[in-house]
Amino acid sequence: MLGYINAERIKANLAPLVLDEKLCQGAFLKSKDMAVNKYFSHTSPTYGSPFDMMKSLGVTYNLAGENIAKNSSVKGAHDAFMNSSGHRANILNDGFKKVGLGFYQDGYYLFVTQWFTN
């Protein structure tokens, strides 16, 4: 997924994003939470908003965003993100410098969370 994201950014003359371990940990927890608790939303019944969740995990930022997907594959999720104006805007936001990627397989579905920060 990082390769797909950075290929899109390079095509748009943007710097590639750097994978961040703390963001990846949080993104994984979000994907797992959605699968285990059977919901699909930016607001978690467990953790609250993505920004509440980031703060509780000690993530510091001035600018942050979240993309979520429920798809059958990483490539399918990426294609869906790029075909959605809001998700695409996060991927191509020049203010974002770091990304965290979290994946959780639940039967047929792969839950994908992308966290972006500056």
- CATH number for the domain that contains residue 58: 3.40.33.10
The predicted structure's pLDDT at residue 92: 99
Give the β-pairing of 98-106 and 109-117.
Answer: antiparallel
The predicted structure's pLDDT at residue 112: 99
The predicted structure's pLDDT at residue 11: 98
pLDDT in tens, 63-116: 999 999 999 999 999 999 999 999 999 999 999 999 999 999 999 999 999 999
Distance (Å, whole) CA 47 – CA 92: 26
* Structural domain span for residue 87: 2-117
pLDDT in tens, 11-54: 999 999 999 999 999 999 999 999 999 999 999 999 999 999 99
* Amino acid making up residue 91: I
The predicted structure's pLDDT at residue 49: 98
- pTM for this structure? 0.97
Distance (Å, whole) CA 52 – CA 55: 5
What is the chain's percent helix, strand, coil content, to nearest 5? 40, 25, 35
- What's the total number of domains in the chain? 1
DSSP state of 59: -
